[in-house]
Amino acid sequence: MSNSRHSSKKNNTRLDGLVIAVFGRHYRVETKDKIILNCVTRGKKSGVACGDQVELLPTTPGQGVIEKIQPRSTLLYRSDAFREKIIAANISQIIIVVAAIPSFSEELINRCLVAAESQSIGALIVLNKADMIAPTRSAALTLSCYQELGYPLIQLSAKNNIAALIPYLKGNISVLAGQSGMGKSTLINTLIPEAKRTTAEISVALDSGSHTTTHAHLYHFDADSHIIDTPGIQEFGIHHIKDESLAWEFVEFRPYIGQCKFNNCRHTHEPDCALMNAVHQGKVSKRRFSFYQKLRHQTQ
């Protein structure tokens, strides 16, 4: 009888854990003792993200139920007019991986930067496949405007030399974001060989990559540094960022916000708009301002 009571008490002991993988409504959670449990949530609850700190209740051996999500420091997610898709929680840095081949979407870069700014998350742009010298040189020229805004830009070859990335990983919980075919999985495999992420060749004819990562997974780079790999992102909706907040998420716009003739200026057509005046004077990039106007129109 005492053994039965002891077993029952043990099974009702809650554990703290870190969500290291998300498979739909199933989650892989690592406890502080480095025990991996396959978990679900109660009922139809979802919303658990890779990187979440949770409280769980062990059930059968190797299984558990997530009872509580601990308060998050940050939450990276994308949204359209109808739904939201959580990407990762508690991250301190988003690493936007691009490459000259296949061609990258500059609009997607801007969307990622806006999402990062809205959560006060650091952002780093990695130009991969730098061994392709001529295409990379052209891509670096396109990306230089982001470097001028203060976003670090590094060039590397995930297959050959990733030394430039290592200092940026230290002490951070980073999430890799980018389109399919940019080399995120190759980058993970080079950083963490035991990850063994599936990679695929790109289609030159279609100028695109194939989805090889099907779920978000957190890897430990060292005791204080962690990396979350995510499925390739072709679209990054930011519908959750309100119209009046969008301009603030463009860092170079901030000195001009509040300086317009009208307090409710939307920076589109209003007279004496300080931001549009700055664009006309060459103080703000016309290209970035065009992305702002496009995003603003799409999030209305």
State pLDDT tens for residues 213-239.
458 899 999 999 999 998 766 567 787
Residue at 88 is within a domain: yes
- Domain final residue, candidates 43, 69, 95: 69
Judgement on whether residues 256 and 292 belong to the same structural domain of the protein: yes
Residue 42 has pLDDT above 70, yes or no: yes
What does the alpha-carbon distance between residue 154 and residue 147 come to, in Å, rounded to a whole number? Answer: 9
- Domain final residue, candidates 28, 43, 69: 69
What pLDDT was estimated at residue 180? Answer: 83
**Is 298 exposed, middle or buried, given 0-12, 13-18 or 19+ CB atoms closer than 10 A?**
middle
Domain that holds residue 57: 2-69
Judgement on whether residues 275 and 153 belong to the same structural domain of the protein: no
Among all chains, which residue has been given the structure tokens 């952002």? 123
Q: Determine which of 3-7, 39-43, 152-156 has the lowest per-residue pLDDT on average.
A: 3-7
Judgement on whether residues 113 and 205 belong to the same structural domain of the protein: yes
What pLDDT was estimated at residue 143? Answer: 97
Judgement on whether residues 93 and 196 belong to the same structural domain of the protein: yes
Into how many domains does the chain fold?
Answer: 3
Mean pLDDT of 110-121: 93
Structure confidence at residue 11 as a pLDDT band (50, 70, 90): low
Q: Determine which of 20-24, 58-62, 80-84, 184-188 has the lowest per-residue pLDDT on average.
A: 80-84
Judgement on whether residues 185 and 152 belong to the same structural domain of the protein: yes
What pLDDT was estimated at residue 235? Answer: 64
pLDDT digits (tens, 9 = 90+) for 54-84: 999 999 999 999 999 999 999 998 877 667 8
Quote the tokens at residue 292: 């702002």
Residue 253 has pLDDT above 80, yes or no: yes
Judgement on whether residues 182 and 271 belong to the same structural domain of the protein: no
The answer to whether the CB of 169 falls within 8 A of the CB of 152 is no
